[in-house]
Structure formats: C-alpha cells, structure tokens
Amino acid sequence: MSELVLKSSRFRSEREADWRRLETLLDRVERGSPRRLSTTELLEIPVLYRQALSSLSVARAISLDQSLIDYLEGLSTRAYFFVYGARGGLWERTARFFAVDWSAAVRELWRETLVAGGLMLLGVIIAVVLIQGDPDWFYAFVPGQLASGRDPTASAAYLRSTLYDAPKDGSSGLSFLASFLFTHNAGIAISAFALGFALCLPTAGLMLSTGCMLGAFLALFAAHGLGIEAGGWMMIHGVTELFAITLAGAAGFSIGWSVAFPGALTRIDAAAAAGRRAGTVMIGVVIMLFCAGLLEGFARQLIRSDEIRYGIALTTALVWGGYFYLPRGRGDS
C-alpha cells in the first residue's frame, strides 16, 4: 500500500504543474470568455488537454488512487468542452480556421510533409531515368486514355501544339488532359488521406505513382526539346495541386504512424487524435484543389507565355510557403 502511495505521489509531482496550468486557464475562460486569453494561451490549452488525457490513461493503467483519477477525469471533461465545444459563430470559426488552425496543423505535419514530398520526387526521378533508357516505360506510368497521342511516338510539333494551341473541341487536346489530371489528382489526394490508416503503405504507393506520372510526362516532352515549356504548362497550377496532394499524403502518414506507434495512448485514441489534426489539413486541401482548378481552367488556358507561367508558379509557391511556414508573432505556434 505504501508503495502505491509513493508511486501516486511521484506521478503527481512530475505532472501536477501542467494540470494546474490547464485548470487555471479553464477557470479564466469559465469566468469570462476565450477572449480573456492571449493567442498563445488559447493554443496552449489543447496541448495541456492532450497531456491530461495521457496522464489519465497512465493513471488508469497502473491503478493509481481513485481520487487522482477522478480529478483527471473532471479536468479532462472541462477541457474537452473548451477544445471541441461550439464557440462563436460561423464567421468567427471560419476566420480562426484561416488565421490559425489550418497553418498550425500543416506545420505540425512538417516531417510527414517532407516524407510525402520526397516520395513524390523519387517517383519523378524513377520515371525520368527509366524512360530515358527505354521510352516504352512511358506506357507503364501513364494510362492509355490519358496519353491520347501524347506518347513517345508523337512528333515534337504535335506535343508543342498541346502546350500552346487552343483545343479544337472540348473533348480532346489540352482541355481533356487538364480535366483528367485534375480529376485524377483530386482522387489521389482523397485516397492518400483515407488509406493512411493502413500503416502508411497505400499512401506511400500513391505518392510514388503520382511522381512517376509527372516524371513520365516531363521525360516525354524533354525528349523532344520541350522540357522547359512543359514544366511551365504544368506548374502554373501544379504548384498548388501537387502541394495539396503532398499535404494529403502527410495527413495520411500521420494517421498511419499513430496507428503503428500509438505511444501511451490506445491505437484508437491515437488515431482519433491524429485524425482531428489531419482532418483540419484535409479541409484546407480541398480549398487548395479548388484554387488549382481555377488556375487550371482559366490561367493555363489563356496564358501562352512561358515566362508568365513560371512567374505565376513561383508566386503561388511563395504564397503557400509564406502562409504555412512564416512566423506570425507571439501567438504563432
């Protein structure tokens, strides 16, 4: 019995400061409103809440005294209603999503984002190297209905016309390829997220296959001396679209990793926690895909200058990079 009391006392002393900090912040909110807290303090509460949940899980697992478990249950319940309860109106929640939640969730997944982007780049390299050695590899990476004449047998003049000439009808040429790529990549983004729970393996495969398709097209056009032109045609919308796919892959990886390595939590709890963060990222991914669709449907069809195409691609890269990763003052997490 004395050993149990000692264990409980040591457990409490190591973590009690965080519990008291969470309790103090919740008391301030309950006496007024969330506006009584600074941005830093508001962002601190979810972190402390997760730590309290972890402490509660450990306390239950090693059968510490019931009074401590009751205290942690009550604290966690109070924090839950603050973190997940409905607060403010639609416009307020929307503004917070764009000002804080989306970018914070993306920054938390920076490791997974690097992995997803690295796998996509690896796919590009694999496809380019294989096709340079044997052009027939192109057919292994690009579906037949998508190629539609844009394959290793096409002439340079024909391939150039697909980059600059307006399509003669709505079912072929550039419009068809643009529509197919957008639909394909949107499906890849959703699948990369949804299949992440399977220990990351399907998500990794999708990142590789997407990179291989991109690399196959670049290798095809480069073989005809049109690599730079094809890059501008793809990147005018591809920066946004490919970044969205990368973030979707990162969201899928975060869920798969939490399932494989849940730490102190159960696999279900760990997956649920990762899923909430990944869900925030995926809401943003849908917005990015919509923006990419606008660029694909209008800017790429109307702009024929390589310099302007690359300029737009660079601008979108700076906009997204700055939005997600530049510091935003003391409240930035």
The phi and psi torsions of 125 (rounded to 5 degrees) equal -65, -45
- pLDDT for position 3: 54
Q: Which of 251, 115, 255 is nearest to 198 (CA)?
A: 255
3-state secondary structure string across 7-72: HHHHHHHHHHHHHHHHHHHHHHHHHCCHHHCCHHHHHHHHHHHHHHHHHHHHHHHCCCCHHHHHHH
The phi and psi torsions of 159 (rounded to 5 degrees) equal -65, -40
- pLDDT for position 331: 45
CB neighbours of 91 closer than 8 A, spacing ≥ 6?
A: none
Question: Cα Rg for the chain, rounded, in angstroms?
Answer: 25
DSSP assignment string, 262-307:
-TTS-HHHHHHHHHHHHHHHHHHHHHHHHHHHHIIIIIHHH---HH
Dihedral over alpha carbons 222, 224, 225, 227 (to 10 degrees): -30
Q: Which of 226, 218, 214 is nearest to 160 (CA)?
A: 226
Residue 82 carries which side chain, given as an amino acid letter? Answer: F
Q: Which two tokens stand for residue 125?
A: 């390299």
Using alpha carbons only, give the angle 26, 27, 32 rounded to the nearest 5 degrees: 95
What is the spatial distance between Cα 189 and Cα 240, in angstroms, rounded to a whole number?
A: 12
- pLDDT for position 169: 47
- 241 close to 182: Cβ distance less than 8 angstroms: yes
- 35 close to 55: Cβ distance less than 8 angstroms: no
- pLDDT for position 204: 96
Question: Which element (helix H / strand E) includes 220?
Answer: helix 201-223
Q: Which of 214, 13, 21, 44 is nearest to 117 (CA)?
A: 214
Residue 161 C-alpha from the chain's centroid = 35
User: Residues in the chain with pLDDT < 70?
Assistant: 1-8, 32-36, 63-64, 85-89, 166-182, 328-333
pTM of the entire predicted model = 0.71
Question: Which element (helix H / strand E) includes 204?
Answer: helix 201-223
Across the chain, which distance is largest between two alpha carbons, in Å? Answer: 86
- pLDDT for position 120: 97
Question: Which element (helix H / strand E) includes 314?
Answer: helix 306-325
What is the spatial distance between Cα 296 and Cα 233, in angstroms, rounded to a whole number?
A: 9
